[in-house]
Structure 1
Amino acid sequence: MRERIIDAALKRFTYYGSSKTTMNEIADDLHCSKASLYYYFPDKQSLHVAALEKAGETYFQDLEEKAEQAETARQAFMELIATRHAFAKRFCRLELFKVLKDKQLMRFAHEAFQKAREREIRIITNIIEKGAARGELITADPEKVAALYMHAMIGLRLSLVSKDLSEEISDEEFERVREWQVQLADIFINSLKK
């Protein structure tokens, strides 16, 4: 039941946003009582966090799968960019930054972001190591290069957002970030070639 609640909340939060979704609406979607929701989640905020965690796990599983299936390092990097872009567009209404402003959740958010960064660095490190094993790339420190690459990508995502992070990002901004990320990935890949 807990997973059904999270799935229903994620569906509503993705479409309407968390702030415009009520626990009553989620209960109605599930044909259950609001009390049933509160049995598993003490408040909407905890349900929102659970929905964010589920979306994040789905995202990382997709990243890992795409990286594993790629035949070249460049293909893997481009798949990561496409996956990130699709995820951001699909889940832009999850109001992640609104959750981050909540003082009670700051510790959780900090830990979650740290784990996410570490996981993404491992994925990128694996791509670089596989590229080196295939003779496509060369580097003495794949993990350090992966961390640099990931932080550069984060910088690109944030550099074009000139407004409050809780506001929606336009389609043009999404596309500009994607284009710049592709260019940066090519620069990184070319710098790692023999």
Structure 2
Amino acid sequence: MHTENRDEMRERIIEAALKRFTHYGASKTTMNEIADDMHCSKASLYYYFPDKHALHLAVLEKAGEMYFQEIEQSAATAATAQDALLDMIPVRHNFARRFCRLELFKVLKDKQLLHSDETFRLAREKETALVAGIIRKGVATGELVTDNPDQIAALYIQSMIGLRLSLSARELTDDISEEEFELVRQWQVQLADIFIKGLKS
């Protein structure tokens, strides 16, 4: 029971931090403010997280879990591989807009978070595996043609990431305007269309 209570408290802290980070931005949020939101002491937060950096990473991991739940559900309900790939784009778009204040680039640059690279690598691999599964289903139904779904999926995801980062990679900033979000969405739709047409030939 004690372990369950600790797990529940840790989850509550992450949820409170996610809510505040999403609204105000991670860098503008203090541990005191999160503690106040939870009506507990700051020491209670430090019992579960050694510092704000660790909490920030836990929040990003939580957001990632939410993203994969949404994207897997979207892929599972799509009628075709083409629909599945195209339906993933608005999920990505809405997720990026909703959580843009989580300051992903700040974490990627932060040398104190030595395991952050591994976390993001695993997330990229998970998304690539999901796309590979969609392509395999498309091949099995005769909708798509390829003898290397894994390689195509890796190329597709890396290309999508490149478009996603292209507007902010110059200064590694999370500040992206609504117009830029929409431009990236349009680029991703065009890129998906090119990939799908190539796999149908």
TM-score range, shorter-chain basis?
Answer: over 0.9
Cα deviation, 1:4-45, whole Å, max 9, x if unaligned, reads: 000000000011111111111111111111111111111111
Which residue number corresponds to residue 164 of structure 1?
171
Which residue number corresponds to residue 24 of structure 1?
32
Q: Does structure 1 conserve the Cα–Cα contact (< 8 Å) formed by 2:143 and 2:200?
A: yes
Aligned length, in residue pairs: 193
Which residue number corresponds to residue 126 of structure 1?
133
Q: Does structure 1 conserve the Cα–Cα contact (< 8 Å) formed by 2:167 and 2:176?
A: no
Task: Find the aligned partners of 1:190 and 1:59 in 2 and give their Cα distance.
Answer: 27
What amino acid maps onto 2:70 in structure 1?
D
Residue 162 of structure 1 and its aligned partner are, at CA, apart by: 6.3
2:68 paired with 1:66: no
SS of the aligned residue for 2:152 comes to helix
Which residue number corresponds to residue 17 of structure 2?
9
Residue 132 of structure 1 and its aligned partner are, at CA, apart by: 1.3
Q: Which runs of 5+ in 2 are unaligned?
A: 1-8
Change (3 A) 1:186 1:114: same
Task: Find the aligned partners of 1:14 and 1:185 in 2 and give their Cα distance.
Answer: 29
Which of 81, 91, 94 pairs up with 1:86?
A: 94
Residue 116 of structure 1 and its aligned partner are, at CA, apart by: 1.2
Cα deviation, 1:47-69, whole Å, max 9, x if unaligned, reads: 11110110011111211111111
Cα deviation, 1:86-140, whole Å, max 9, x if unaligned, reads: 11000000011111221121x3121112111110110000110111122211111
Task: Find the aligned partners of 1:94 and 1:144 in 2 and give their Cα distance.
Answer: 31
2:70 paired with 1:44: no
2:104 paired with 1:96: yes
Structure 1 runs, 4 residues or longer, greater than 6 Å off: none
Which residue number corresponds to residue 150 of structure 1?
157
Q: Does structure 2 conserve the Cα–Cα contact (< 8 Å) formed by 1:67 and 1:127?
A: yes
Task: Find the aligned partners of 1:112 and 1:32 in 2 and give their Cα distance.
Answer: 29
Change (3 A) 1:6 1:125: same
SS of the aligned residue for 1:137 comes to coil
Report sequence identity in percent. Answer: 66
Which residue number corresponds to residue 57 of structure 1?
65
Q: Does structure 2 conserve the Cα–Cα contact (< 8 Å) formed by 1:161 and 1:173?
A: no
Between 163-172 and 173-182, report the one with greater CA deviation: 163-172
User: What's the Cα RMSD here?
Assistant: 1.3
